[in-house]
Amino acid sequence: MSPILGIWASSIQPSLSAGSFESIATVTVGAGGTSSITFTSIPQTYTHLQLRWMVRSTYADVTSWQNMTFNAAFNSGTTGYVDHYLRGNGSTASSGFENLQNKINYGESTGANSGANMFGVGIIDILDYSNTNKNKTVRMLDGHDQNGSGAIFLRSGLWASTSAITSIYLGNSDYSANFAQYSSYALYGIKGA
Amino acid sequence: MAVTYDKIATTTLGSAQTTVSFSSIPQTYTDLIVIINAKANTGGVIGQLAQFNGDTGANYSFTYLNGNGSSASSGRVTGTTNQAWADLAGSSTSPNTIIAQINNYSNSTTYKTTISRGSDANNVAQAIVGLWRSTAAITSILLFPNSGIQFASGGTFTLYGIKAA
């Protein structure tokens, strides 16, 4: 069976939930993995978005960085992404910065060489995603522990664009790697008053 | 219509208590969030610990990141019998808030990873990632301060479930 080249999750209209925090769409990776995940046609009726994830990569290492773009796929030429992070790796606290890249690093997952059943997890908040008067701010918390290795991250990201976010593209930093089976992403919308 | 972000249970302590537990956790959600606002009933800052499903074996580990107002540090504990979520405020200070998030708690395929943040303005800002090396679905959570210390009266502990589409 050929591997799935990508999973596209169209928005599910909010018929499954009520209130200020609503589920928009969910993706769980099946056998064979997938190279990318995309949320499209994101409703513009919320104030903020939250993306909750659990990922293991097929990248041949114990870690793999995960990337995100808005409204355009990786390597489409879009730039204007910036991110900072504060990292604890179990022995040292450190910080990093990426400026004017073509993607945001939103998380570090486990990789193919990690122990079985180990996944990285994270939560991404995209604030005022539909506002066309603001650049887009992203707040991220992620990490993985592998009982002897691992890291915890606090991150902030910027997409220097006032465009409303209508789609989110997610993939491995190493474009040849896939999201492994059982990886999952769940997109939620948060309504303001 | 189904609720996406749902309060499952809450406890407010009427007296000092050694443990707080959430049991018979419904398996109908996708993620769990535990929000704690509490402090220890004696002494200084102490670790806030957790166990799942009554597992007291050395099946836990965690990696932490601390900022104490003058420096940032990181450390790790491996192969231990409990998982730290954050430091708990000492008895002479105000309660602090700890938020722990457990994604995909009910699957029976992956190990369970918890991400927590602790906010103790008198002491430290923290983020911790913890691993429970079990593929079992989480059905109960036991919370307790380190070293046999008790939670002070008035502490609140709330369990939420988040349900994906």
pLDDT per residue rounded down to tens, chain B (165 residues): 457 899 999 999 999 999 999 999 999 999 999 999 999 998 888 899 999 999 999 999 999 999 999 999 999 999 999 999 999 999 888 999 999 999 999 999 999 999 999 988 788 999 999 999 999 999 999 999 998 899 999 999 999 999 987
Q: Which residues of B120-139 are buried (b: 16+ CB within 10 A; e: fewer)?
A: beebbbbbbbbbbbbeebbb
pTM for this entry = 0.93
Distance CA B149, CA B39 (A): 10
CB A112 within 8 A of CB A55: no
Give how far A23 is from chain B: nearest CA, Å.
5
Identify the CA nearest to B55 among candidates B140, B148, B128.
B140
CB B39 within 8 A of CB A53: no
Burial environment of residue A162 by CB neighbours within 10 A (0 to 12, 13 to 18, 19 or more): exposed
* Residues in CB range of A38: below 8 A, 6 or more apart: A6, A7, A8, A9, A73, A167, A168, A169, A170
Nearest Cα residue in chain B from A11: B165
- Whether the complex's predicted ipTM is more than 0.90 is answered with yes
Q: What is the length of chain A? A: 193
CB B144 within 8 A of CB B18: yes
Percent of chain A whose pLDDT exceeds 70: 90
CB B106 within 8 A of CB B27: yes
Distance CA B127, CA B120 (A): 12
Identify the CA nearest to B79 among candidates A150, A148, A121.
A148
- If pLDDT is split at 50, 70 and 90, which confidence band does A15 have? very low
Q: Which position has the higher pLDDT, B60 or A18?
A: B60
Between residues 76 and 95 of chain B, which touch chain A (CB distance below 8 Å)? Answer: 76, 78-79
Average pLDDT of the residues in A102-116: 96
Average pLDDT of the residues in A45-65: 96
pLDDT at A12 over 70: no
CB B109 within 8 A of CB A96: no
Distance CA B165, CA A118 (A): 24
B135 interaction partners in chain A (CB closer than 8 Å): 117
Distance CA B50, CA B19 (A): 10
The pLDDT of residue B2: 58
Between residues 13 and 42 of chain B, which touch chain A (CB distance below 8 Å)? Answer: 30-31
| Residue among A16, A17, A150 minimizing CB distance to B76 | A150
Rg (CA), chain A: 16
pLDDT, tens digit, 9 for 90 and up, residues A124-181: 999 999 999 999 999 999 999 999 999 999 999 999 999 999 999 999 888 789 999 9
The number of CA neighbours under 13 Å toward the Cβ of A8 is: 6
Query: Would strands A36-40 and A7-10 be described as parallel, antiparallel, or unpaired?
Result: parallel
User: A184–B104: do the CB atoms touch at under 8 Å?
Assistant: yes
Distance CA A65, CA A143 (A): 11
Q: How many cross-chain Cβ pairs, A to B, lie less than 8 Å apart?
A: 160
HEC profile of A51-92: EEEEEEECCCCCEEEEEEEECCCCCCCCCCEEEEEEEECCCC
Distance CA A106, CA A122 (A): 8
Q: Which residue has the tokens 């939930």?
A: A17
Give how far B113 is from chain A: nearest CA, Å.
7
The conformation of residue A176, written as its DSSP 8-state character, comes to T
Q: Which residue has the tokens 């290492």?
A: A61
